[in-house]
Amino acid sequence: MTIEIIGTGKAVPPNRVSNDDLARRIDTSDEWIRSHTGIGARRLADEATATSDLALEAAREALAMAAGWKEGPGREDAVREAAGTLDLIVLATASPDYYGCPSTACVVQDRLEARRAAAMDLTAGCTGFVYGLESAAGLLSVNKGRKRALVIGAETLSKLINWNDRGTCVLLGDGAGAVVLEKTEAASEGPGRRGLLRTILGADGAGVENLIIRRGGSRNPFKAGETVEIPPHLEMNGQAVYNFAVKAFTDTCTRLLEEEGIGVDHVALIVPHQANARIVQAAGKRLGIGEEKFFLNIQDYANTSSASIPIALDELNRAGRLRKGDLIMTIAFGGGLTYGGNLIVW
């Protein structure tokens, strides 16, 4: 028995905002953003678009692929049929449609008409998708009756940004990525093995203050009659997160390889969380791994938090860059602070 990815999908809003566009609104420049982060542009959701809208679009793409739909008519039927086979929806997000209740996963479950599926959100910052894969795989494994899960990373963090804080607003973008997981009879060990092999999950709660949305929760609720100058927004200690990220990245990669008993040569591609190209370069240097081993699309989408890895997986998959049997590593880090990585045989 193993847990395989049988479909991938992504959705990004059509509105592309370049670094130059931002430089017309705040005190920044294309040169600073590119040289400090590798970001060239980001996609931003309009007022009417919530996280579940992007999640739904990515989910439909992934379900259509899982159903074997290619092109032409019949997509809606394929999606509906595949949605009906889901036992579980796990949606990782730091920018849910509603705070606390209901989950964004339930909104998606309803719109997909995935009647049999349990649905829940998962909060693990930018590591949400890595946590989500392991959580869904675990829930499929412990129950004979569960066979299929949808794991989504979806964000509209642009709605939780202080657009006057140039230290954070240039970094983030909106988007969603999704995968369909299936429990299959393929081998999980030995030659010909497939699926999710191994996952590392970790957290360092001492770093809660380093990436935080202070207002709106039970610690700092809004009070009757209160007016706010800036809506709830993400605050970040960039240096602290940078240092944490490089160490978490290096340690996670080393541990995954050691625990699996393999060298990095066995890994076809490392798909990191797209937070900052400099973090990937610094970690790669420490690990002695060449840049060609890492997939980066941060230049197009900026940091889409929990959506960045599934968006990257979908781009790679649709471009034919993930071949059956390839060993793929994911690595992520983010708010919490959290970190983790997966080893997946495609």
Of 270, 244, 274, which is closest to residue 256 (Cα–Cα)? 270
The least CB distance from residue 71 to ligand UT7, in Å, is 35
| Residue pair 154/93 in contact by the 8 Å Cβ criterion | yes
* CB closer to ligand UT7 out of 195 and 310: 310
The least CB distance from residue 100 to ligand UT7, in Å, is 23
Side chain identity at 326, as an amino acid letter? D
The least CB distance from residue 258 to ligand UT7, in Å, is 25
* CB closer to ligand UT7 out of 333 and 346: 333
Told to judge if 126 belongs to the known catalytic residues of this protein, a careful annotator would answer yes
* CB closer to ligand UT7 out of 339 and 346: 339
Told to judge if 303 belongs to the known catalytic residues of this protein, a careful annotator would answer yes
Side chain identity at 62, as an amino acid letter? A
* CB closer to ligand UT7 out of 38 and 195: 38
Bridge partner list, 42: 17
| Residue 40 CB contacts under 8 Å (≥ 6 apart), including other chains | 18, 19, 30, 33, 34, 299, 300
The least CB distance from residue 307 to ligand UT7, in Å, is 11
Which one is catalytic: 19, 106, 126, 253?
Answer: 126
Token pair for 261: 């008993």
Q: How many CB atoms lie within 10 A of CB 23?
A: 17
* CB closer to ligand UT7 out of 13 and 272: 272
Cα–Cα distance measured from residue 139 to residue 123, given in angstroms and rounded to the nearest whole number: 17
Which one is catalytic: 106, 253, 273, 317?
Answer: 273
Q: Which residues bind ligand UT7 (CB under 6 A)?
A: 28, 32-33, 36-37, 126, 166-167, 170, 211, 236, 238-239, 241-242, 245, 275-276, 303, 334
Cα–Cα distance measured from residue 341 to residue 273, given in angstroms and rounded to the nearest whole number: 10
Nearest residue to ligand UT7 by CB is 238
The least CB distance from residue 283 to ligand UT7, in Å, is 12
Told to judge if 253 belongs to the known catalytic residues of this protein, a careful annotator would answer no
Token pair for 248: 């978490």
Cα–Cα distance measured from residue 149 to residue 182, given in angstroms and rounded to the nearest whole number: 7
Cα–Cα distance measured from residue 278 to residue 63, given in angstroms and rounded to the nearest whole number: 34
Which one is catalytic: 19, 210, 276, 303?
Answer: 303
Active site residues: 126, 273, 303
